[in-house]
Structure 1
Amino acid sequence: MEVQLETPGGLLRQLKVRIPAENVTKAVEQRLRQLSSRAKVPGFRPGKAPQKVIEQQYGASARLDAVSDLVQKSYPEALGKAGVNPAGMPKIDITAEAPGQPLEYTASFEVYPEIALQGLDSFKIEKPSVLIQDSDIDKLIENLRKGRRSFEAVSRAVASGDSVSIDFEGKLDGVPFDGGKGEKVEFEVGAGQFLPDLENGIVGHSAGETFDVSVSFPEDYRAENLKGKTAVFTVTVHEVKEAKLPALDDADFLTAHNVDSAATLRDKARSALEGERDKAIRNRLKSQALEQLLAQNPIEVPTALIEQEIPRLREDAASRMNLRNVPPEKRDELLPNSLFEQTARRRVALGLLIGEVIKAQNIQLDAARVDKALDELAADYEQPEEVKQYYRSNGQMMQSLRAVSLEDQVVEALLASTTPIEQPMSLEQLLNPQAQA
């Protein structure tokens, strides 16, 4: 077998393979012998037809099968001879194939980029410095109280935070539209269940009142006929209920959070916030380290790997958008490849660079770290041992957890030679940077 490797450009490689004619002839003859032992030919008992008859009837298909087998078996050997490692499946083109002649084919594929890591000692990392304040604890406990709130009917006008029961009917230019009518609809004012104009328009009205509210629909509203339009809603308020929060020392409230006193609840809240803070800081450091790894090491990415990554990203997006039951062709139309190409390219490049860091620094997976990660994950559930057992019984989930743990080890290695710059900030700024911006 003769092998010739060509480099048309970039990561693309073309492997030209030539298999001697005698090898092809031998493979075809072997295939015909296999066929003759079981072939059913009119006028002959099974396996008794003359070889010439077998060749006339099955020669073309036998040659096709033999050529396919030769290509499949010779391709790995040809790769070994050429010393290349393809990134993805090849495109095979048979360029010469005729009886008594050598078989020639070309395999086109991409290879992995050659990576020489650089700039790892020049990272500039900002590390958030956050102290948990009493006000942070107060806010969390207030949210816990709101989570256990009840509602009591009141005779005053509607205020933000109240629960109301209303009838409403919306009209565009005096004409009702689909989905614009509801009766005895209950919702909490200010919770964002309805458009702000409608919720704000109800504030200040009392039970028994009927009134009109102008509501402007945003340009990106989901209903095509309402985008950018202004409708008039006729609203009738039936009932107004005020939220009642449990007292800090309420026994049921404390029991619900597995504590016996308000002081213990504050301690538990502080511990929870410290955990959230530490996790958020780790994520900030990790994000910066990986972004700078990418910035310092721009690499060419195999298209084949990007194409493999896009379906995974589409599946994740479909799951988040509750589109799993949508037919695949419709889902592909709603979520085209172009939506994910940039993210897929970044993810593949980062994966290749992380792999190179692991190899360069001989990083081995720390099993204790995986166990700790599983403990932290399970701690958020009521039955942590059951959660851990479920994970350990699921190979795919454990593999994902190992991958995250190994990635964290890579980040630590990247940050080992860097002195982060302390950046004081509030807990709110750390946990909700977009809201702060």
Structure 2
Amino acid sequence: MKASWEKTETNRGVLTVEVDEKQLGGALDKAFKKVVKNVNVPGFRKGKVPRPIFENRFGVESLYQDAMDILLPEAYSSAVKETSIEPVDQPEIDIDQLEKGKPFIFKATVTVKPEVTLGEYKGLEIEEKDFSVNTEDVDAELKKMQERQGELIAVEDGKVEEGDRVIMDFEGFIDGEPFEGGKAEQYTLEVGSGQFIPGFEDQLIGSEPGSEKDITVTFPEDYHAEELAGKEAVFKVKVHEIKRMRLPELDDEFAQDVSEFDTLEELKSDIENKLKEQKKNEEESYKRNQLVEKAAANAEIELPEVMVEHEVDHMVRHFEQQLQMQGINLEQYSQFTGQDVDAIRGQFKEDAEKKVRANLTLETIAKAENVEVSDEEVQEELKKLAEQMNREVAEIQRLMEAQGGLEQVKDEVKIRKTIDLLVSNSKNAA
């Protein structure tokens, strides 16, 4: 096999691959054995048609597609290794020559990992930021604990207030006609959450249990459903029930209920200590992120759009998983917020670009600084993973090896060591 690489654009080029006729012949033999099993020719049992008769009747060209399916993956993979390119997307394949008795030649148009020209990455300065813990921080954390212990109580004689949970039926109409997705029964909405179209939740305030009212809103001009965008809608709403959070008193009894402490002061002291430890970790993360961002900003990289889109895909999948944990899917979220999938993806675009740029920069710094990861360091990382998952190290290693994940673990350790290098060489280093 022969392979050559010719760059045609900054991050794209053409990989020309020539597979000799002997390999093509072998692939055609395999293709024939596969195809002939399902061929019926009068005078022969199914699957027993001789090769010459098959080719005379159907033509050798009928085997080409299967032969390509056999040859292409291995030939492309070998050519990538031979030319030392790093593709970041699926190739666009064009067949130049496919004839029996001649070499098989194809061209693959490939987007490759971009070249990175490093700028300054040592001696960088971290912008100061306050990570101290004050009384307001402790009170805010105590408030969260209080809310977690709160109880939703049905409001029998009262009106909807901001923060209440309202159980209701609603149906939306435009020009007197109901529209798809505008109806629900026994729906629970937290008033003030911003979950519905602007203006809807505000108009619920003051409603009583059992009351019915019309709520008039206008869909945003950029609403994801074009047939609704910018239109005025009337929602007929029936309020079934109002639930309001009742919070416990913040006293020693509360402290005893939610912790191992006897007094509220002891609980506050514990909260303060934990917040300090949390802030310390946040400060460390802040410093590391600052240095990575600065090093990436100083580097010259022309990002392939496909790399950014792949990262957006990953972020959207992660976001979907988070939504599912809250009991909703992406489609429902899209309806609630008035954003289509493209708009949601657009929200991740900037962060995706930053992440891809940062990863490429760190990868290049690691090469420039000869950052290596030992087998012992990989084992230590596996040990940490095993502890987190409450599994045996050997079991985690077997799983990683089976899924090809050991190299990923090694890469993660290398990236971490590279960031350590940036920290130790920063102006703020102790």
Q: TM-score range by the shorter chain?
A: 0.5 to 0.7
Residue 6 of structure 1 is matched in structure 2 by 6
In 2: Cα distance, 1:254 partner to 1:406 partner: 46
Q: Which residue of 2 aligns with 1:93?
A: 94
| Contact map agreement 1:36 1:48 (CA 8 A) in 2 | no
- Alignment partner of 1:358 out of 366, 369, 374: 366
Query: What's the offset of the Cα at 1:137?
Result: 2.6
SS at match of 2:52: helix
Report the AA paired with residue 360 of structure 2. L
Separation of aligned partners in 2, 1:47 and 1:230: 66
Q: Deviations over 1:262-284 (max 9, x none)?
A: 23212211122113322332332
1:114-157: CA deviation from partner (whole Å, max 9, x where unpaired): 33433102423123243323443344334434543569999x99
Alpha carbons of structure 1 residues 233 and 303: separation in structure 2 relative to 1, 3 Å = closer
1:256 matched to which residue of 2?
258
**Residue 293 (structure 1) aligns with:** 295
Residues 53 and 131 of structure 1, relative CA distance in 2, 3 Å threshold: closer
Identity of aligned residues (%): 18
Partner of 1:118: 119
Q: CA deviation at 1:413?
A: 2.0
Structure 1: any 5+ residue segments left out of the alignment?
Answer: 379-386, 423-437
Query: Which has the larger displacement, 99-108 or 285-294?
Result: 99-108
After superposition, the Cα gap between the structure-2 partners of 1:246 and 1:13, relative to the gap in structure 1 and judged at 3 Å, is same
- Residue number among 410, 420, 427 corresponding to 2:428 in the alignment: 420
Report the counterpart of residue 425 of structure 1 in structure 2: none
Q: Distance in 2 between the 1:276 and 1:33 partners?
A: 65
The 8 Å contact of residues 323 and 330 in structure 2, kept in 1 or not, is answered as no
Separation in 1, partners of 2:28, 2:170 = 81
Q: Distance in 2 between matches of 1:199 and 1:133?
A: 37
Distance 1:368 1:216 in 2: 58
Q: Would you say 1:275 and 2:281 are equivalent positions?
A: no
1:148-199 per-residue CA deviation (whole Å, 9 max, x = no partner) reads 3569999x99998997999999999xx9x9999999x999998889967558
Matches within 5 A, 1:198-213: none
Check the 8 A contact 2:146/2:247 in 1, yes or no. Answer: no
User: Partner amino acid for 2:7?
Assistant: T
Cα displacement (A) at 1:86: 2.8
Q: Aligned pair in 2 of structure 1 residues 10, 190: CA closer, same or farther (>3 Å)?
A: closer
Deviations 1:53-99 (A, max 9, x none): 23213533234433543444433343344343333332221112334
Distance in 2, Cα, partners of 1:169 & 1:34 = 63
In structure 2, the CA distance between the partners of 1:269 and 1:248, relative to structure 1 (3 Å rule), is same
Superposition TM-score, scaled by structure 2 size: 0.66
Q: Which amino acid aligns with 1:69?
A: I
Deviates more, 1:355-364 or 1:91-100: 355-364
| Aligned counterpart, 2:341 | 335
Question: Letter of the aligned partner of 2:355 in structure 1?
Answer: R
**Worse-matched range after superposition: 308-317 or 287-296:** 308-317
Q: Which residue of 2 aligns with 1:18?
A: 18
Give distance in 1, aligned partners of 2:249 and 2:307: 55
Contact 2:119 2:300 (8 Å CA) reproduced: no
Tell me, yes or no, if structure 1 residue 246 matches structure 2 residue 249.
yes
Contact 2:255–2:262, Cα closer than 8 Å, also in 1: no
Instruction: Say whether the 8 Å CA contact 2:30–2:67 is kept in structure 1.
Output: yes
Instruction: Tell whether the 8 Å contact from 2:88 to 2:113 is kept in structure 1 after alignment.
Output: yes
Give the letter aligned to residue 107 of structure 1: A
DSSP 3-state at the match of 1:128:
coil
* Residues 152, 243 of structure 2: 8 Å contact kept: no
- In 2 relative to 1, CA 366–416 (structure 1 residues): closer, same or farther, beyond 3 Å? farther
Whether 1:42 aligns to 2:48 is no
Using a 3 Å threshold, how does the CA distance of structure 1 residues 199 and 193 change in structure 2: closer, same or farther?
Answer: farther
- DSSP-derived class of the 1:125 partner: coil
The aligned length equals 398
Distance 1:279 1:43, change over 3 A: same
Alignment CA distance shift 1:226-1:43 (3 Å): closer
Cα distance between partner residues in 2 of 1:51 and 1:182: 67
Distance 1:190 1:303, change over 3 A: closer
What is the SS of the residue equivalent to 1:118?
Answer: coil
Larger Rg: 1
Measure the CA separation in 2 of the matches of 1:318 and 1:415: 34
The TM-score, its normalising length taken from structure 1, stands at 0.65
Tell me how far apart the structure 2 counterparts of residues 35 and 170 of structure 1 sit (CA, whole Å). 58
Q: How far did residue 299 of structure 1 move?
A: 1.2
Counterpart CA distance in 2 for 1:43 and 1:161 is 84
Is the partner of 2:313 in helix, strand or coil?
Answer: helix
